[in-house]
């Protein structure tokens, strides 16, 4: 009980965007060829995924002030293995959603335009996105992936981890996140989705994909900043289908 109380108190004072695969297993190498490691000064800090040959999708709160030092690594499994054929590409431009709000994490989505097109192969490929306003039913079994911390305050994983989760009923998540007036983050039924399970996302997994039936339906956004995979405050993902038009408008404009 003491641990729970402390966690709740810290939730109010710590930034919720330091979200957070905990209790995960190592993914089959290159089984998710769309995964990218978003890095600053060549150090992993967020996940992301390829949606075109020149664009990756990630969370808006993963943006850094010095964009020229931002890179993505494609075709990676073990970030420490220089012999596996992964490729580092500089980020040319960041397109944060115009209505992104840092304090409340509304519209937590960002496109990264790469300096050059990726070369598609068995280890580098694009992912599928949902249709506009398409919903995923509560109870659907999905997966999350990342190189984030393996447990609260634990070490980052060098190798890509994965874990199964289930989509939570929207109203249940709404009640859990919006029951306290002193928490700035507010859950949006139309633009967010929650998951629950034995494992989940942790710090360093932000921006990574929530995958349901081979379609990326969500972007890792936020959770309890003091306790990874908290049952009191489940992990929240940006609902990609709510941003279908905005995503393709940016991409098509750059062609």
Quick one: 137 and 234 in the same domain? yes
Question: Is the pLDDT score of 140 beyond 70?
Answer: yes
Per annotation, catalytic residue among 37, 108, 201, 241:
108
| Domain CATH number, residue 146 | 2.40.10.10
Residue with tokens 């930034």: 15
Q: Could you tell me which of 115, 136, 108, 145 has the C-alpha nearest to residue 246? A: 108
Quick one: 55 and 142 in the same domain? no
The verdict on whether 205 is a catalytic residue reads no
Per annotation, catalytic residue among 17, 30, 44, 61:
61
Question: Is the pLDDT score of 11 beyond 50?
Answer: no
Quick one: 114 and 59 in the same domain? yes
Span 129-153, average pLDDT: 91
Question: What is the band of 23 on the pLDDT scale with cuts at 50, 70, 90?
Answer: low
Question: Is the pLDDT score of 15 beyond 60?
Answer: no
Number of domain units in the chain: 2
The verdict on whether 206 is a catalytic residue reads yes
Residue with tokens 């956004």: 221
Question: Is the pLDDT score of 4 beyond 80?
Answer: no
Per annotation, catalytic residue among 157, 201, 206, 221:
206
pLDDT for the residue numbered 200: 85
For residue 66, give its domain range: 35-126+243-253
List own/partner pairs for 249-254 with CB under 8 A and 24 or more apart.
250/55, 250/95, 250/111, 251/51, 251/52, 251/55, 251/111, 254/54, 254/55, 254/113
pLDDT tens digit string along 83-112?
A: 899 999 999 999 999 999 988 899 999 999
The verdict on whether 77 is a catalytic residue reads no
Query: Which pTM value belongs to this model?
Result: 0.88
Residue bearing the bigger pLDDT, 158 or 7: 158
């Amino acid at each position: 009980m003491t641990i729970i109380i402390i966690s709740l108190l810290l939730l109010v004072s710590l930034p919720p965007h330091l979200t957070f695969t905990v209790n995960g297993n190592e993914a089959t190498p290159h089984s998710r060829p769309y995964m990218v490691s978003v890095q600053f000064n060549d150090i992993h800090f967020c996940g992301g995924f390829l949606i075109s040959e020149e664009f990756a999708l990630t969370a808006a709160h993963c943006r850094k002030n010095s964009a020229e030092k931002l890179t993505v690594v494609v075709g990676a499994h073990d970030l420490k293995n220089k012999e596996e054929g992964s490729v580092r590409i500089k980020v040319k431009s960041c397109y944060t959603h115009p209505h992104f709000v840092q304090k409340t994490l509304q519209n937590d989505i960002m496109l990264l335009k790469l300096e050059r097109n990726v070369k598609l192969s068995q280890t580098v490929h694009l992912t599928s996105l949902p249709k506009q306003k398409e919903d995923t039913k509560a109870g659907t079994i999905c997966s999350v992936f990342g190189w984030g911390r393996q447990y609260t305050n634990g070490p980052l994983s060098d190798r890509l981890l994965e874990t199964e989760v289930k989509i939570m009923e929207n109203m249940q998540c709404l009640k859990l996140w919006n029951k306290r007036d002193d928490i700035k983050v507010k859950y949006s039924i139309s633009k967010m989705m929650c998951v629950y399970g034995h494992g989940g996302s942790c710090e360093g997994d932000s921006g990574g994909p929530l995958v349901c039936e081979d379609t990326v339906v969500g972007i890792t956004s936020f959770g309890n900043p003091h306790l990874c995979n908290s049952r009191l405050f489940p992990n929240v993902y940006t609902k990609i289908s709510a941003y279908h038009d905005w995503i393709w408008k940016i991409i098509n404009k750059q062609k």
